Amino acid sequence: MSRTVHCVLLGRDAPGLERPPYPGALGQRIFENVSKEAWERWRAHQIMLINEYRLAPVEPKARKFLEGEMEKFFFGAGSSKPKEFVDPDK
């Protein structure tokens, strides 16, 4: 049975994640407040950040940066794209 959450990003009820997608308190907060659709939007944004900033996610500094961007993406003012980013779909 699928669970429903009131998604903070979409602003409406939507199917929720099956389990916390990230460890710790942030992962639990995402699990309780973020839909599957919004999580997929974050994943696409995260890939863009990794590519544009040439991050190595295994490095602690990169993980800390991405965690901060994740927090902003869902619960803050939003995670911005790099100034130099050119959307290939436009």
Is residue 80 a part of any domain in this protein? Answer: no
Per-residue pLDDT band for 21 (boundaries 50, 70, 90) equals very high
Is residue 17 a part of any domain in this protein? Answer: yes
Query: Tell me, what's the pLDDT at 79?
Result: 76
Q: What angle do CA 30, 84, 60 make, to 5 degrees?
A: 45
Is residue 64 a part of any domain in this protein? Answer: yes
CATH of residue 63: 1.10.3880.10
Outline where DSSP puts E strands in the chain.
4-6, 13-15
Is residue 86 a part of any domain in this protein? Answer: no
How many structural domains comprise the chain? Answer: 1
The kind and range of the H/E element at 9 are: none
Longest distance between any two alpha carbons in the chain, whole Å? 43
Is residue 81 a part of any domain in this protein? Answer: no
For the segment 35-81, what is each residue's pLDDT rounded down to a tens digit?
A: 999 999 999 999 999 999 999 999 999 999 999 999 999 998 877 77
The kind and range of the H/E element at 87 are: none
Query: Tell me, what's the pLDDT at 85?
Result: 66
Query: Tell me, what's the pLDDT at 81?
Result: 74
Please state the pTM of the whole predicted model: 0.86
